[in-house]
Amino acid sequence: MNMNNNNYASGNQRGQHYGENPSFQQGNNAPGNPGGQEGHKDEKSGLLEKIQQLGQTNVPQLSQDSKIHCLTIVGQIEGHLQLPPQNKTTKYEHLIPQIVAIEQNQNIEGLLVILNTVGGDVEAGLAISEMLASLSKPTVSLVLGGGHSIGVPIAVACDYSFIAETATMTIHPVRLTGLVIGVPQTFEYLDKMQDRVINFVTRNSNISEEDFKELMFAKGNLTRDIGTNVVGSEASDFGLIDEVGGVGQALKKLNELIELNKDKNEGIIQ
């Protein structure tokens, strides 16, 4: 808006200086130019949309030639059952096609996964974890805020993992809500599902099965549950997460992995 006013003022000044008609205007500022008015309306509506959605007028954009894709997993991971509308969720049916597209897109050379999740559906979380672990491209995860419950396997599924100093990860046994029919059979099913989580985490991180189970079944750490809440450097000390760091360190590491992957592929071709 200010630019249009400034252009209008400078146009008047030029007209008066050269003895021309001060009301003569060129370009999009001309009163009889409907295209200029429509462009101004589109610009204004786009500005309002940014304010409504993001709370600010200027939003930085990723470069078109960026070789890194950022995947965010926030809120609760929604699986086979749809959660109430007031819950902030990450739907696994949205993530799976994205991960497939990332693998197929030759312009994407690395993936940064940002987590701030309370957990959610176990099978959906394991499906996402397995897909991330099977990607042929370098992957780095960063836990911000929290990577709780089934968010733990997703965090360790990447080639390298970071956690912020103030971020937390809650490790607890698999739980089931709702009506349970056939208690012995259900317990056996949950026990096998829990083994799947334990095996995946220990296979994709530096924590031993014994230490992970000790954290999972610890008593007295959580108010209403058994398990452990690890914060920042504790997750790294246990070998669950590779390193404490933030966005800068995560991107630096990912770029290093991308270069190593390039050298590896060039060596195979030669």
Q: What is the pLDDT of residues 174-232, one digit of tens each?
A: 876 655 565 676 677 777 888 999 999 999 999 999 999 999 988 877 767 788 899 99
Domain membership of residue 174 (yes or no) is yes
For 42: left if phi > 0, alpha if psi spans -120 to 50, otherwise beta; the answer is alpha
**Pair of tokens at residue 215:** 């954290």
Residue type, 12: N
Contact 207, 239 (CB under 8 A): yes
- Catalytic residue status for 172: yes
Strands 110-120 and 68-78: parallel
Domain membership of residue 267 (yes or no) is no
27/152 same-domain check: no
What pLDDT does residue 230 have? 93
Domain membership of residue 244 (yes or no) is yes
Write the DSSP symbol of residue 107.
T
The Cα–Cα gap between 249 and 103 comes to: 23
Give the domain extent around 117.
68-261
Residue 15 scores a pLDDT above 70 = no
Residue type, 264: K
Domain membership of residue 270 (yes or no) is no
Q: What pLDDT digit, counting tens, does each position of 68-84 carry?
A: 999 999 998 988 878 88
115/178 same-domain check: yes
Length of the chain: 270
The Cα–Cα gap between 68 and 142 comes to: 14
- Could you tell me which of 257, 217, 170, 180 has the C-alpha nearest to residue 265? 257
30/150 same-domain check: no
10/92 same-domain check: no
Q: What is the mean pLDDT of the segment spanning 82-107?
A: 90
20/74 same-domain check: no
- Could you tell me which of 250, 58, 226 has the C-alpha nearest to residue 144? 250
Q: Which of 69, 129, 141, 149 is catalytic?
A: 149
Residue type, 156: V
133/246 same-domain check: yes
**What CATH number has the domain bearing residue 78?**
3.90.226.10
129/10 same-domain check: no
- Catalytic residue status for 148: no
115/183 same-domain check: yes
Q: What is the mean pLDDT of the segment spanning 10-20?
A: 41
Q: What pLDDT digit, counting tens, does each position of 217-266 carry?
A: 888 777 677 888 999 999 999 999 999 999 999 999 999 999 998 888 77
In whole angstroms, what separates CA 21 from the centre of its chain?
A: 57
Domain membership of residue 205 (yes or no) is yes
Strands 168-171 and 228-231: antiparallel
Q: Which residue has the higher pLDDT, 38 or 101?
A: 101
Domain membership of residue 61 (yes or no) is no
* Tally of structural domains, the chain: 2
**Pair of tokens at residue 269:** 């071709």
Q: What pLDDT digit, counting tens, does each position of 100-127 carry?
A: 999 999 999 999 999 999 988 888 999 9
Q: Hey, is 2 helix, strand or coil?
A: helix
**Pair of tokens at residue 165:** 């100093």
Write the DSSP symbol of residue 1.
-
Q: Which of 141, 161, 172, 236 is catalytic?
A: 172
**Pair of tokens at residue 19:** 């003895």
Domain membership of residue 118 (yes or no) is yes
- Indicate the pTM of the whole model: 0.73
246/201 same-domain check: yes
**Pair of tokens at residue 95:** 């993530």
Which residues does 176 contact at the CB level (< 8 Å), separation at least 6? 186, 190
Q: Can you tell me which residue has the tokens 């312009």?
A: 107
Domain membership of residue 60 (yes or no) is no
144/92 same-domain check: yes
